[in-house]
Amino acid sequence: MLSELPIKRIPLPTPFPVGDINSYLIISDPLTIIDPGPCYQPSEDLLYRFLKESGVELKDIKRIVITHGHADHYGMAGKIQRETGAEVLVRDREVEKLELTPGYIENKRRIMLTTGISGETLDMDGLYRGDVPFTHPIDKIKTYSGDCLLGFDNFEIRLLHTPGHSGGHTSLFWEEMGVLFSGDLLLPEITAIALIEYDPREKNLRCRSLAHMLKSMELVGAINPSLCLPGHGDPVSGPAALARSRIDFHKVRLDEIYSIVPMGRENAADPCSLSRVYYPNVKDLDIILAVIEVVAHLDYLADEGRIEEYIDEKGVSLFYRRLQ
């Protein structure tokens, strides 16, 4: 159980629809915080108060580990680093999300345009203009790749690459104790979205985020932790069953999305219009998330050979089912 481990869960409020985010403090040497939450006053106040009440001084934080480059998880990292000099650790693949390099924003935008969504719609979402509120610049980022070990005084925690929700998403596995910090890979109350990104090897292609996510879920089944400490929501015991149910959920969704793909090349449709069929009531900017969800499944279906894809003269993907 969590209370027997040198781990504190700190649920922090966020200004985002997802609600609270869990920050975790590992009370060992070096004192480490996983996902310090957004740079948002109520969250910051609560974090500092929690540390104080736990008898921890802010200056004692030596290391900040970020599971992935989303503002609700990493926003405070730069501020804490400025105040403490703590090391900020991020998987190499996620760094551009934290630094918001112009190339990154450009690629993010370009890859979304392959779904048939309009540039005007993307412009309404600050994320596609490089505007990421509730974050603080991070002066110095230390990167890593692969599945490396995070050393503590008398134990080690493995940094597992678990892509899907984000290309460089990391889960932390304390094998000896059977504890998995799952970030946004596995959440008890919601199914994390497989966000599309460009393929780092071929920037004009979408990376296969759903395939990556299902593989990451399989990994949870294979390592079979006894306790999962997610990025949002309560701890989950025996998370392999939850991972299995998430895989099953996507299998059903794959069949549903397959059923709305038109028959015949002449009727081929882009992911944006298919998302309006799959989510007929979607409003405003939620269309962006709807398109992402649908295209991630379409790519998976195309890779399985169940549907066909071709790219039109504007670079937009069109999908169809072969006539029998």
* Sites of contact with Zn ion (CB under 5 A): 70, 184
State the nearest-atom distance from the C-beta of 98 to Zn ion, in Å.
Answer: 13
Q: Is 210 exposed, middle or buried (0-12, 13-18, 19+ CB in 10 A)?
A: buried
For 51, 156, 181, the CA distances from 65, given in Å and listed in that order, are: 17, 14, 11
Asked whether 217 and 249 are in contact (CB, 8 A), the reply is: no
**Going by C-beta distance under 8 Å and a sequence separation of 6 or more, which residues neighbour residue 4?**
none
Residue among 230 and 239 whose Cβ is closer to Zn ion: 230
State the nearest-atom distance from the C-beta of 232 to Zn ion, in Å.
Answer: 9
Distance CA 2, CA 65 (A): 19
Residue among 70 and 93 whose Cβ is closer to Zn ion: 70
State the nearest-atom distance from the C-beta of 166 to Zn ion, in Å.
Answer: 6
Phi, psi torsion values for 230, nearest 5 degrees: -85, 170
Residue among 232 and 253 whose Cβ is closer to Zn ion: 232
State the nearest-atom distance from the C-beta of 189 to Zn ion, in Å.
Answer: 14
Residue among 246 and 321 whose Cβ is closer to Zn ion: 246
| Cα–Cα nearest to 50, from 24, 80, 86, 17 | 24
Measured at the CA of 76, the angle between CA 180 and CA 140, to 5 degrees, comes to: 90
When CB distances to Zn ion are compared, the closest residue is 70
State the nearest-atom distance from the C-beta of 125 to Zn ion, in Å.
Answer: 15
Q: What is the DSSP letter of 6?
A: T
State the nearest-atom distance from the C-beta of 203 to Zn ion, in Å.
Answer: 22
Residue among 44 and 72 whose Cβ is closer to Zn ion: 72
Residue among 134 and 319 whose Cβ is closer to Zn ion: 134
In the block, tokens 């979205």 appear at 193
